[in-house]
A and B are shown apart, each in its own frame.
Chain A
Amino acid sequence: MGRYIVQRFLWMFIVLFVISMITFAMMHAVPGGPFTQEKALPPEIIANLEKRYHLNEPYWKQYLLYIDNVMVPHISKDAAPEMVDEALVEISLPGGNYLRWINFGPSYSSRSRTVNDIFREQLPVSIQLGVISMVVAITIGLPLGVISALKQNTIWDFLGMSVAIFGVSMPVVAMGPILIWIFGVALKWLPPTGWGAKPPFTLFFIPNTLGSWDFWKHTLMPAFAVGTGYSAIIARLTRASLLQVIHEDYIRTARAKGLSERIVTTRHALRNALIPVVTILGPMFAGVLTGLFVVEQVFGIPGMGKYFITSITNRDYPVIMGAILMYAFFLVISNVFVDITYAWLDPRIRYD
């Protein structure tokens, strides 16, 4: 198992390399550039800017420079480095030297910020919202699916599946404003916009206000708006999977043993039924993260979704690269996590 996980992480680096190459090629293939504007800048200024950001170099050199900045630790003497050289890991060495590692570069469109700033300040907010949305999706979806399956073709089943269809069909862009109108404007229970956590965050993404209502009152509506849609998918999959399992021979064996329906369901059926459900949770989490743009706009949440979308229209090359690599990283990590959960649920799956 340990060996398998190490293997997967090595593969992850290869995957990220390939993705970085494809992204780099594609974004440079798109016409226009970061300094193309309606009112054209003087050629000398463009030349200076491009020189400043090494955009005048050949593509292969630009790419190698990027990889070098991200992957290779650099030792420098500067105490206060230039903004573009700001690194995620900075260790002061004896003799006044600094070791700097992981520099995703500057943002071209907001010049006071680097991609690392976005990772430090915006990405954690998106992760917070994403994780809470997933928790909402699972806590609603799983019981809904189980009830629908156990009470198949009864009013409960129809009711549960109606809720699921509603959740699937209701886009966040509609659900968000409706929630804001009900709970934010009419009832005034929850703040209609904003976010209740500010950087710095513990362990990269845990808000320091986690224990306070101030944090949760901002999360409830957006997490619910995102979560219901995904809960519907989970509910329908759980229902289908459980219905299949419940007709298996070993369920009959469990009943013949004299076990109560509750134990037959929880101990014997559910664990088998969850295997396909767990499979979709990994890609789903990555999907939630990348799909947060809309909900962040609707609820005015300072997450990363905005940068992910606007960086592409702005041709903000370092932000595009950084965002895509980060999301790819999450996709791979969640899939590794799914594989581990898999082995835990099903003893027939072993990775050695």
Chain B
Amino acid sequence: MTNLLEVRGLKTQFFTQNGIVRAVNGISYTLKEGECLGIVGESGSGKSVNVLSLMRLIPTPPGKIVGGEVLFKGEDLMLLPMDEMRRIRGAEIAMIFQEPMTSLNPVLTIGFQVEEALKLHKGMDSKAARERTAELLTLVGIPNAIERLDDYPHQFSGGMRQRVMIAMGLSCDPALLIADEPTTALDVTIQAQIVDLVKELRKKLGMAVIWITHDLGVIAGLAERVIVMYGGYIMEEALVKELYARPRHPYTIGLLGSLPRLDAGEGAKLTSVRGQPPNLVNLPDGCPFAPRCDFVGERCTQKMPPLEEIGPGHRVACWEKEKTEGMKPHAR
């Protein structure tokens, strides 16, 4: 399979009154056609800014993509004129967002909002777009879709709105669907429904998916490969099973250790990653995780470690990765 997306050295910063916020600091990764990539990290790790940069949706000013290439089907999106970029948005790369409650325009019917993309990218007339919209809404599991076309977002629940967002994203058969924490604002049962829906739609439609979350549990059942981000850097990248079985970055180990497990035995305590997430305005030299790391060494505070391959498809950015070999997250 060829690479659908190739990100090289992407760097996005925000120029604020308090200084330069270094949100994404030169990250590189690839995505194959039809693949599902999970991006995990805590708030402020740069995962959302990363994907908004791909779409060139960073609010400028204050934000700016200061470097890097984003090759989509071999074409560098960063160099495209804006009108060509708009032809990619929605049509080739679609995006669904974290807050279904606020991501739909409250004064327009949901039918209209889905039809809009169809008319724009597929050149459909109103009638065809309306029929297709009804199909799409049925596809994402909205009952009585035809009758609900003229309803407004406030007449839908959060989960239903997220389904509408997904229908909107799928409307033009995109090659890549970016889901930016789509389940974070929903309650757990609805979360599972949305995850299952995306899983099923992927099988049906064969699109690639980038799924951003801070929930490692969601990723396990959905993604094939996982990227762990921290402080605007990629810390670890591996196939999903490899990552859960043999995490090598101290941060990944910490994250996995903080998950409750059914097989942990009675009375077992969850571990937490000590300390606070870094302030992206004054990122320290060296590894941003160093102040919280149990394995910190001398080099860690001086220079950011390179992302090095340690096994097939398994990359880690850590100076002290020898120390974590063979570690189990819950063995601490």
A260 within 8 A of B: yes
Chain A minimum-CB-distance residue to B100: A249
* Option from B59, B109, B116, B121 in Cβ contact (under 8 Å) with A247: B59
Contact of A254 among B83, B105, B107 (CB under 8 A): B105
**A257/B168 in contact, CB under 8 A:** yes
The reply to whether A272 and B106 form a contact with Cβ atoms under 8 Å apart is yes
Q: Is the CB of B107 within 8 A of A253?
A: no
CA distance A254 to B116 in the complex (A): 9
- Measured between beta carbons, the chain A residues less than 8 angstroms from B8 are none
Nearest to A256 among chain B residues (CB) is B95
User: With the chains together, A268 CA to B117 CA distance in Å?
Assistant: 13
Query: In the complex, are the beta carbons of A346 and B106 less than 8 A apart?
Result: yes
- Asked if B249 lies at the interface with its beta carbon under 8 angstroms from chain A, I say no
The residues in A between 328 and 352 inclusive whose CB is less than 8 angstroms from any CB of B are 345-348
Is A271 at the interface (CB under 8 A from chain B)? yes
Q: Quick check: A268 and B59 within 8 Å, CB to CB?
A: no
**Complex contacts, A348 vs chain B, CB 8 Å:** 106, 152, 154
Across the interface, do B102 and A258 meet the contact criterion of CB distance under 8 Å? no
User: Does B89 lie within 8 Å of A258, measured CB to CB?
Assistant: yes
Contact B120 A249 (CB under 8 A): no
**Chain A residues, Cβ within 8 Å of B319:** none
Is the CB of B87 closer than 8 A to any CB of chain A? yes
Pick the contact of B103: A253, A260, A347 (CB < 8 A): A253
In Å, the complex CA distance between A346 and B108 comes to 9
Instruction: Report the nearest A residue to B61, measured CB to CB.
Output: A153
Assuming the A-B contacts A257-B89, A258-B86, A258-B121, are A268 and B105 also in contact, with contact meaning beta carbons closer than 8 angstroms in the complex? yes
Of the candidates B91, B105, B152, the one whose C-beta lies within 8 Å of that of A258 is B91
Q: Are A258's CB and B106's CB within 8 A? A: no
The reply to whether the CB of A166 lies closer than 8 angstroms to some CB of chain B is no
Using C-beta atoms within 8 Å of the partner chain, give the interface range for chain A: 20 to 34
- Closest chain-A Cβ to B65's Cβ sits at a distance in Å of 15
Interface centre among B103, B120, B121, B165 (most CB of A within 10 A): B103
**Shortest distance in angstroms between B184's beta carbon and chain A's nearest beta carbon?**
13
**A234-274 CB contact bits vs B (8 Å, 1 = yes)?**
00000000000001111011111111100000011001100
How far in angstroms is the closest Cβ of chain B from A200? 43
Residues of B in contact with A, size category: 20 to 34
Q: CA A257 – CA B59 in complex, angstroms?
A: 16
Q: Nearest CB to that of A344 among chain B residues? A: B107
B95 contacts which chain A residues (CB < 8 A)?
256
B105 near A250 with CB under 8 A, answer yes
| Contact between A258 and B87, CB atoms less than 8 A apart | yes
The answer to the question of B167 belonging to the interface, with a C-beta cut-off of 8 Å to chain A, is no
Nearest Cβ in chain B — how far from A44, in angstroms?
Answer: 70
* CB-based contact B107/A257 at 8 Å: no
**Bound Cα distance from A62 to B116, whole angstroms:** 65
> Is the pair A257, B106 in contact by a Cβ cutoff of 8 Å?
no
Q: Is the CB of A347 within 8 A of B89?
A: no
**Is the Cβ of B102 less than 8 Å from the Cβ of A248?**
yes
Of the candidates A256, A268, A347, the one having the most CB atoms from chain B within 10 angstroms of its own CB is A256
B99 within 8 A of A: yes
In the complex, which residue of chain A has the Cβ closest to the Cβ of B87?
A: A258
Find out whether the CB atom of B103 lies under 8 angstroms from the CB atom of A249: yes
- CA–CA, A257 and B94, complex, Å: 7
Question: Interface code B111-123, partner A: CB below 8 Å = 1, 0 otherwise?
Answer: 0000011001100
Q: 8 Å CB contacts to A: which residues of B75-107?
A: 83, 86-91, 94-95, 97, 99, 102-107
Is B270 in contact with chain A by the CB < 8 A criterion? no
The residue among A257, A259, A345, A348 with the most chain B CB atoms within 10 A of its own CB is A257
Q: Does B57 contact A (CB under 8 A)?
A: yes
Contact of A272 among B105, B154, B165 (CB under 8 A): B105
B87, B108, B168 — most chain A CB neighbours (10 Å) = B108
Whether B89 contacts A255 by the Cβ 8 Å rule is: yes
B117 to chain A, nearest CB (A): 5
Q: Which of A258, A271, A345 is close to B90, meaning CB atoms less than 8 Å apart?
A: A258
Q: Across the interface, do B55 and A259 meet the contact criterion of CB distance under 8 Å?
A: no
A348–B154 Cα distance when bound, in Å, is 7
Chain B residue at smallest Cβ distance from A271: B107
Q: How far is the CB of A175 from chain B (nearest CB, A)?
A: 37
Measured in the bound complex, the distance between the Cα atoms of B154 and A254 in whole Å is: 17
* Interface contact A252-B107, CB-CB below 8 Å: no
Give the Cβ gap from A270 to chain B, nearest Cβ, in Å: 10
* A254–B109 alpha-carbon span in the complex (Å): 14
| Cα–Cα distance between A269 and B55 once the two chains are bound (Å) | 20
Give chain B's interface residues, CB within 8 Å of chain A: 55, 57, 59, 83, 86-91, 94-95, 97, 99, 102-109, 116-117, 120-121, 152, 154, 165, 168
Q: Which 7 A-B pairs have the closest CB atoms?
A: A258-B90, A258-B89, A257-B90, A249-B102, A250-B105, A347-B152, A256-B95
Instruction: Given contact pairs A253-B165, A259-B90, enumerate 16 new A-B contacts (beta carbons under 8 Å).
Output: A248-B102, A250-B103, A250-B104, A250-B105, A258-B86, A258-B90, A258-B91, A258-B120, A260-B83, A267-B108, A268-B105, A268-B108, A346-B107, A347-B152, A347-B154, A348-B106
A-B contact pairs, 29 of them (CB 8 A): A249-B102, A250-B104, A250-B106, A252-B97, A253-B165, A254-B105, A256-B57, A256-B90, A256-B95, A256-B97, A257-B116, A257-B168, A258-B86, A258-B88, A258-B90, A258-B117, A258-B120, A258-B121, A259-B120, A260-B83, A267-B108, A268-B108, A271-B107, A272-B106, A346-B106, A347-B107, A347-B109, A347-B152, A347-B154
